[in-house]
Amino acid sequence: MIDKLKNLFTGDRQRRREDPMRPATIYDDDVYLVSYPKSGNTWMRMLIANYALDGGADLESFRSVVPDIHKEPGACDGLARPRVIKSHAPYMAEYPRVVYIARDGRDVMVSLYHFMLRGKHIAGGTSFAAFYDDYCARGLWDFGRWGEHVTAWLDQTAADLMWTTYENMKADTAGELRKTLAFIGYDVDDERVVRAVERSAFDKLKKMEKTNPGWHKDGVTNDQPFFRKGGTGQWREVFDAERLKDFERRNAAVFARLGYARSADDA
């Protein structure tokens, strides 16, 4: 099983090396919406797009408001400034302004596992334990490991940085959107924020995906959705005790910094 994972990860790593991490030109007023994969970036993109389009964004139009530097680098070139560009890049000093989204790494791991199964980046039937062990040895493509990614971005001093968490977005979506919009440079209208939040609710995103079955289906031949659960704390149902302890030990400093309780600290 691990050999299959190694072969698949190696192939994808080579492909990822060819992905861009920066647009052709970087402007001082660019804002890069950065996160480790499966941390809420798509949701924030949709929130921003629904604000910009006054509730009219869908799974196609939102890409024209906040394009993905990895998948559609050419779309960044024609954006009106200040441009907002989605990225999963590890720390890059070239990015002048950054909104960084962090998410509890335990939930990231579970969501990433299902995403990798969905896209056949790992063999069907691969256990979470086998995926986790290989991930710890290799990291994810050129994005590295969760704790390293988060730490490098939050420690940086070159960029003008605002950061939030997926959990804060869940608790106060409108408030986190307002802060993000103000950071980007939008004039913030509260009624428009409310419409953007309503239009970007998780149940609406799942319905959009069902009516647009080809969306985000590169290499996907099964029926697993991209928008799967969108919750928090799902790691409790997936991690075994040994790997949970290992992950929390590896990332103890990051947990403390972001305010995530370790399982031994749970009430």
Residues of the domain holding 76: 2-260
pLDDT (tens, 9 = 90+) of the chain, 267 residues, equals 344 444 444 444 434 445 689 999 999 999 999 999 999 999 999 999 999 999 988 888 898 999 999 988 989 988 999 999 999 999 999 999 999 999 999 999 999 998 888 777 888 889 999 999 999 999 998 899 999 999 999 999 989 999 999 999 999 999 999 999 999 999 999 999 999 999 998 878 767 766 665 544 454 444 555 545 566 789 999 999 999 999 999 999 999 999 999 986 553
Determine, yes or no, domain membership for 14: yes
Q: How far apart are CA 252 and CA 260, in angstroms?
A: 9
Per the structure, how many domains does the chain have?
A: 1
- What pLDDT is recorded for position 218? 53
Determine, yes or no, domain membership for 105: yes
- What pLDDT is recorded for position 263? 87
CA 60 to mean position of chain CA atoms? 18
Determine, yes or no, domain membership for 80: yes
- What pLDDT is recorded for position 140? 92
- What pLDDT is recorded for position 203? 78
Burial 28-52 (b: 16+ CB within 10 A, else e): eebbbbbbbbbbbbbbbbbbbbbbb
- What pLDDT is recorded for position 117? 84
- What pLDDT is recorded for position 5? 45
Strands (E), 48-152: 84-87, 97-102
Determine, yes or no, domain membership for 266: no
Q: What tokens were used for 160?
A: 């003008």
- What pLDDT is recorded for position 84? 97
CATH classification at residue 223? 3.40.50.300
Determine, yes or no, domain membership for 114: yes
Q: How far apart are CA 107 and CA 111, in angstroms?
A: 6
Cβ contact 110:238 at 8 Å: yes
- What pLDDT is recorded for position 156? 94
- What pLDDT is recorded for position 119? 74
Burial 117-154 (b: 16+ CB within 10 A, else e): bbbebbeeebebebbbbbbeeebbbebebbbbbbbebe
Determine, yes or no, domain membership for 197: yes
Determine, yes or no, domain membership for 267: no
- What pLDDT is recorded for position 2? 42
Determine, yes or no, domain membership for 265: no
